[in-house]
Structure 1
Amino acid sequence: MPSAFSPARTVLFRLHWALGLTAGLVLALTGLTGALMSYEEAITAFANRDRMQVSAAQDRPPLTPSALAARIEAQLPGRRVSALTLSGDPVQSAVARFARDRAGGRPSPVYADPADGSVLGPVRLEAFFATVRALHRWLLLPGEGKGWGRTITGACTLALLLFLGSGLYLRWPGRHGWRVWLRPNLARPGRARWWSLHAVAGTWLLPVYAVSALSGLWWSYEWYRAGATWLLTGPAPPARAAERAPGGKPPDGNIADGKMPDGTSAIDTAWAEFRATRTASLATLTLPGPDAAAIRIRWYAPDSNLRNETTYDARTGVRLSDKRAADSALGARIADNMLEVHRGRFFGAPVALLFCLAALALPGFFATGLTLYVLRRRAGRRRVTGRASRPAEASARG
C-alpha cells in the first residue's frame, strides 16, 4: 500500500499534474474531435439524405462497377475513380471516391445513381470531417502523418496511459472505503469536491480510456502496430507470388486495364462472383491501378460492424483470399477492426455510446484538473503568507 508521503507518490503526483497541464489540453481536443467522428456516418447520412437514395432504382438493374466508374468519369473529366462503395439496398446511391490529382489533392467523393451512373452531387460535410480527422490525428500540423503532429498526439496518448496508471496509484483504496472510491461526494466544499468528481469519474472510465489509448497507439507508432499485430495474430504469413513481384505487378501481368483476353473486365468478374456468393449490406470495391496485383473488396455483413475482406486477381478476377470476421479468431478480428475497437463499436452500440461520452468527458478532466491545480497553488500561497506573518506578529508583541 503506498504511503501518503512516499517519494514515489510525490513523483507520480507531480508527473500527473505536469502532464495534465500540457498533454491534457491535447487530449481534450482529441476527445472532442473523436466524439464527433464516432457518429460521422450518421451525421453525414443526415446531411446528405436527399442524395443517398434514388427513386425507382429497384426497377432498373445496376451497372457493373467498370461501367459505373466509366460513366462517372465521363461526367467529371480529369478524375479517376479509385473506389466504389455499393449498398446491398437497391435504392441506396453509390459513392465514388477518386485518386489524387497531379497536385496531390484528392477530389471530393460524389454520390451516383447505381443504375445509370448519373452524378447526384458531392458528399456534403466531407471536407469538414477531413479537417476534423486531421485535427484529431496530427493537430493540423504540416507533414500530416509524417510530421510532428503525429508525434505529439502519439506522445499524448502515452501520457493518457500514464494518467490512468498514476491516478490509480495515487488513490489506491488504502485510506478510503470503496464508497468514497466509486461515488462522488459533491456536497464537500472547495477543492475536495473537485477532487472527488475528477477522481471518481476517472475511476469509472478507466477501462474505456485504456482501450482507447491502447488502440489509438495503433496509428501512432509503426513498431507498436507491428508488435500488437504479432501478439494478436502471430507471425505474418508469407506474401503471395503476385505481391512479391517487382513493382507490385503480377508475375506475368500483360493484360492492360484489367481486361481479360475475351474482353470482359476482371473487376466485373470479381464483383459478379462476390455478389453471387456473399450477402453484404455495404461493400467498398477498390479499383486497381495499372500496377496493382489484386482487387480488394471490404464489406460488412448485415447487422454487423465487423469488416470482412475479399481479394481477387487483378488480371483474371479469380478469388485470392477471403477473410471473414465470423470465421476469424478473436485476435484477428481485433486487428482487422482496430478502428471499431477504438470507437467502441466492436463491443456493440451501447458501448460505442459510452466511448463517445467518455471522449466528451476529456475536456472535463482537463478543466477539473486545472481547477485543482489553481486551488492548490492558492492554498500554498496562503500557507506561505501565514507562516511569514506569524514571526512578524510575534516580534511586534515582544
Structure 2
Amino acid sequence: MKHAKFILPAIVISQFCCTSLWFAGNAVINDLVLNYELSPSALGHLTSAVQFGFIIGTLLFAILTIADRFSPSKVFLISALLGSLFNLGIIWEDNSLMSLLSLRFLTGFFLAGIYPVGMKIAADYYEKGLGKSLGFLVAALVVGTAFPHLLKGITDTFPWKSVLLATSSLAVLGGLLMFILVPDGPYRKPSQRINPTAFLSVFKNREFRSVAFGYFGHMWELYAFWAFVPIMLKKYSVEHSQALFNIPVLSFIVIGVGGLACIGAAYMAQSVGTKRTAFTALFLSCACCLMSPLLFASASEGLFIGFLIFWGMVVIADSPLLSTLVAQNAPAEIKGTALTIVNCIGFSITIISIQFISSMIALTASNSIYIILAIGPILGLFALRKKHKVTVPNGEHSSKKSNF
C-alpha cells in the first residue's frame, strides 16, 4: 500500500495528540478549584465524569457497531473535532461544577471514538505484529494522557487556559492527520448492519473472557493510580518537608514513562509470550500497590520518586498486550466492537476505584489506602491463570492453562 511505512507513525502521533484531552482538566484542577470555587474533591468528580462519558460513548459505539460499519478514520476525525470543542469549553468564565462535569463527560464521550477506534485502525493494518503496534499505540495514549501535566509545569507563567487551548489544538491536528494519512486498512472487514448483540457474543469465547477479565483487573488500578499521582507527590512533600517537588513535571514523568514500558513490553512479548509478559507486569504492579504504605512512610525522596516511576511503568505495560489478546480472540468482522465493549466495561470499573479512593482520602490520612488498588490486579491474575477445560479425543475433559 502506498506510504504504508508512514501508517504506524501517523496512527501513533494522532493518538498522542487526541488523548491529550483526557487529563487536561486534571492538569489545571487547582486553577479550576480557585476560579470556579470548587471543593478539593472536584478532582475525583471531574476525572470520573470523563470516564463516565467514555463508558457511555463506548457502549453506544459498541451497540451500534460504529467502528465496524463506518470508516474508522472518519469516526476518529469527527470524534477528535467534537472532543476538542467540549474540552475548550472549560475556559468559559461562567462555568459551574455542573457545567464542568457536563463538559468533561462530553469530552470523554468522544474519546470513545478515539482510543478504541485507534486500536481498531491498527488491527486493520497489522494482523501480524499487532502486539508491537499496539505497544506503540498505547504508549502514545500514555504520553498523551500525561502531556497536560507537562504543559502545566512548563507554562506556569502563562494563563491556565493555555493548557486547554493547546490540548484542543493538538486534538484537531491529530484528527486531521488520521483522516488524511490513514485510509481504511487492508485487513478491515466492514460490518454491513447493526448487530446489537455482537458485543455480547464475543464473551462466549473462554479465552476471550480470560484476557478480558485480566484487562478489567488491570483497569481497576490504572486510572486511579494516574489520577492520584499528583496527590501522592503532594502528600509526600507535605509529610517530608524537605521534599521540594515540581509536581506537574514529576506527574508527567511518572505517568509518561509508562509509554516506554509499553514499547519494551511489546518487544519482550515477541520472545517471552504475550500473555506471560502481561501476567508479569500485572503481578509487579500488584506488588507496588501492596508495598506503597512502606514507601510513603520511610523512603527517601529519591527512592520514593524511583518507586513511583517504576509503578508508572508496570501499571500500564500489560495494557497493549491484553488489548492484543482481546483483538486476536475476537471475530474479524466485530473486532472494533469487541475492543470497544471491553474498553467500556474496563472504564466503568475505573469510576468505582477512583471514587472509592477519593472517599477514603476524605475519611483518612492513612498511606495504606492505595493497597485497595491491589484488588483488581489480584483478580486479573486469577483470570489469566484460570484453567480451561478442553475436549480430548475420547470425549473426556482435561484442564490446561491457556497460552502460558
Same fold (TM over 0.5): no
Q: Which has the higher helix share?
A: 2
Q: Using CA pairs below 8 Å that are at least 6 residues apart, which structure has the higher relative contact order?
A: 2
Using the size of structure 1 for normalisation, the TM-score is: 0.25
Using the size of structure 2 for normalisation, the TM-score is: 0.25
